[in-house]
Structure 1
Amino acid sequence: MSELPHGVVRLAAERGLTDLVPIGSGLEFQVFRAVTPQGTAVVLRTATGDRFQSNANDPDVDTRALLSWEHAVTAHLAGYGIPVATPRELTFGDPDVLVSDFVADDGRGAEPYLLGALLRRLHEVPPPAAGPVADEGLPTGRLVPVRIVRRWREVAALVPDLPAPPPVDRLAAAVVDRPHDRLLHLDVRAANLRCVDGRVRALLDWSNALIGDPALELGRLAEFALLPENGIDFDAVSSGYGAGVPDDPAAFWTYRLDAAVMLAVVFLSEAPDDVLGPLAVDRLRQVHDRWLREIRR
């Protein structure tokens, strides 16, 4: 218990929570499991470090705002029957903590067709009144081009022979006419799925969510699927979703470029990997070449 954050230990004691143990940690948040006086398992989510953080993909992170969004969006989705870790309490202090239901997992992952059907349901739910934090105050159709270029420059600082970033106006032109009105998770991978018998019992971690084009979700999934550890069969998920590759290749490959440059930043800077880093840069070049072909058609 002495190795646990003092503030989390104090909050657990105040709530009568027992058996407090760490169960996960990421770039911005750490998660603990505990048991309520009634014997129900819960999770406590709190910032890994300071409230305000910065990284190469997201230079201005307010973890309190992200916890508030997580609380709002999961409460909203629970009301529509979308499987989430239902929130119980959000408290601000030292530290800020979101307490949610613990959701069991059998370790066998999601059946991809069923995952696709769930994402289709998600995209049909009206977005919550609260706005996502990841949008940086911009409509998604404007955000995606801006962050592609910003993240591209982060990669270029580490890969000197990378081509110049795509022009923002060309990126924007590829997505401006798309529908940008659906709630998207945008971090669908094995680490964020709690499953039993192949069915998703909770979609976790809504930090990257946006209100945008469903094709953005599919484009990101297509790139995530290239990494085996993400546990995604893109064709099977698309079949369950009810649509294959979107019929707007320029937009779809713009969205894949958004995913590819994000992953390159992750494996070069945020979680440096001597193998995955160079592979991610090679993939970024490939996606960029395909994007160029599609916008020239």
Structure 2
Amino acid sequence: MMEGLAELLAARGVTRLEPLGSGLEFSVFRGRMGGAEVAVRVAGRRCDSNANDPLVDTRALLVQERRLARFVLARGLPAAAPLDLILSSSPDVPDILVSAYVPDDGSPLDPYRLGGVLARLHALAPPGPPLVAAEGMPAARLLVRRVLRRWAEVGRLRQDWPAAPPGSVLAAAAAALGEGSLLHLDVRRPNVRCRAGEVSALLDWSNALRGDPVLEFGRLGEYARLPDNGLDLDALRAGYGEPPPDGDAPALLCRLDAALMLALVFLSEAPDAARGDAAADRVLELYERLRPRALG
């Protein structure tokens, strides 16, 4: 594929490709276009599937990436500027998004400054059509559906997994969640470009939702438990200014959603026996904390 990809991009003025990394749905390359460095995001296939998400429309994600990057840049927030979106008419040719390459000096991320960036992001309502990860429903309803679906998926991968929580318990916890903010929902060191600790760009808007900031902080809280995500939750909350509460039923539901996602990552998508077992145990711990608060 690399040879055909290079030819396709050369016709659009992108040359000197070198791989930067790859994930479940996309591979990313660095290249040059008109004398400047660019990042090239390439879909592996038109539709994909994994343990967390049974149907992934990679074209819709690339279109969304361009739309949200343009939106936040226009409002003074850091992102990688989209330059060219190539949507293929052939099943043998991938869809491609070309964006400005944002360098990173490898310095530790300043969590206080990151908190300020997220506060500004959450003050925005997302533009245009519904976001891909929403699956056509409000975030509170999505959360209940997603927790139940992913809980069942963990049960297929881990022996002696308990029955799923009652939907009524999850719905009671979700009832207080708002719907107005643009959420990134994959904020961790690999998706943040920075220089001298300051955020230069938030990358990868595939998980973005319109919802309550408590959902973002649920994800951040679980990410911060993993050192390689490079997050200091206390400092981030301080930089945010007025973060949502942590420890009530809505916050625990959002942490449960994040913990289930991580459990499936380590049990299936990027198998790691030790991390998978720890993540599954964390799911059960969070549900035991959530249940009395949701019912109380």
Q: TM-score, normalised by structure 2?
A: 0.95
CA contact (8 A) 1:42 1:100 kept: yes
The residue identity in structure 2 corresponding to 1:296 is L
1:10 positional shift: 1.7
Correspondence list, 1:52-71, <5 A? 52-71=47-66
Aligned mate of 2:39, from 33, 36, 43: 43
Aligned equivalents of 2:110, 2:264: Cα separation in 1: 29
Aligned residue for 1:81? 76
Q: Which structure 1 residue ranges, 4+ long, deviate > 6 Å from structure 2? A: none
- Residue 91 (str. 1) matches residue 86 (str. 2): yes
**Identity, % of aligned positions:** 51
- Residue 33 (str. 1) matches residue 30 (str. 2): yes
Aligned equivalents of 2:160, 2:222: Cα separation in 1: 23
Aligned mate of 1:20, from 17, 24, 35: 17
Aligned equivalents of 1:19, 1:226: Cα separation in 2: 38
- Partner of 1:246, secondary structure, is coil
Structure 1 stretch displaced more, 284-293 or 65-74: 284-293
In structure 1, the gaps of 5 or more residues are: none
Q: C-alpha root-mean-square deviation of aligned residues, in Å?
A: 1.3
Aligned residue for 1:10? 7
Superposed CA offset, 1:134-163 (max 9, x none): 111111110000000000001011223222
The residue identity in structure 2 corresponding to 1:141 is A
- Residue 280 (str. 1) matches residue 279 (str. 2): yes
Aligned residue for 2:259? 260
Change (3 A) 1:206 1:157: same
Aligned equivalents of 1:252, 1:106: Cα separation in 2: 34
Q: How many residue pairs get matched?
A: 292
- Residue 238 (str. 1) matches residue 233 (str. 2): no
CA contact (8 A) 2:151 2:164 kept: yes
1:8 positional shift: 2.0
Aligned equivalents of 2:4, 2:136: Cα separation in 1: 31
Aligned equivalents of 1:289, 1:233: Cα separation in 2: 25
Change (3 A) 1:259 1:57: same
Structure 1 stretch displaced more, 246-255 or 136-145: 246-255
Aligned residue for 1:147? 146
- Partner of 2:219, secondary structure, is helix
The residue identity in structure 2 corresponding to 1:9 is A
The residue identity in structure 2 corresponding to 1:164 is A
Aligned equivalents of 1:247, 1:254: Cα separation in 2: 11
Aligned equivalents of 1:105, 1:84: Cα separation in 2: 13
- Partner of 1:99, secondary structure, is strand
Aligned residue for 2:125? 126
Aligned equivalents of 1:206, 1:7: Cα separation in 2: 27
- Partner of 2:27, secondary structure, is strand
The residue identity in structure 1 corresponding to 2:12 is R
Superposed CA offset, 1:74-117 (max 9, x none): 11111001100111111111221111010010111320100011
Superposed CA offset, 1:158-195 (max 9, x none): 22322211122221221223211111000000110100
Change (3 A) 1:111 1:247: closer
Aligned equivalents of 2:87, 2:279: Cα separation in 1: 38
The residue identity in structure 2 corresponding to 1:19 is R
Aligned equivalents of 1:161, 1:183: Cα separation in 2: 38
- Partner of 2:132, secondary structure, is coil
Correspondence list, 1:106-121, <5 A? 106-121=105-120
Aligned equivalents of 2:224, 2:242: Cα separation in 1: 16
CA contact (8 A) 2:246 2:252 kept: no
CA contact (8 A) 1:109 1:194 kept: no
Correspondence list, 1:191-202, <5 A? 191-202=190-201
Aligned equivalents of 1:100, 1:204: Cα separation in 2: 11
In structure 2, the gaps of 5 or more residues are: none
The residue identity in structure 2 corresponding to 1:65 is A
Aligned equivalents of 1:90, 1:22: Cα separation in 2: 19
1:237 positional shift: 0.4
The residue identity in structure 2 corresponding to 1:198 is G
Structure 1 stretch displaced more, 172-181 or 100-109: 172-181
Q: TM-score, normalised by structure 1?
A: 0.95
- Residue 213 (str. 1) matches residue 212 (str. 2): yes
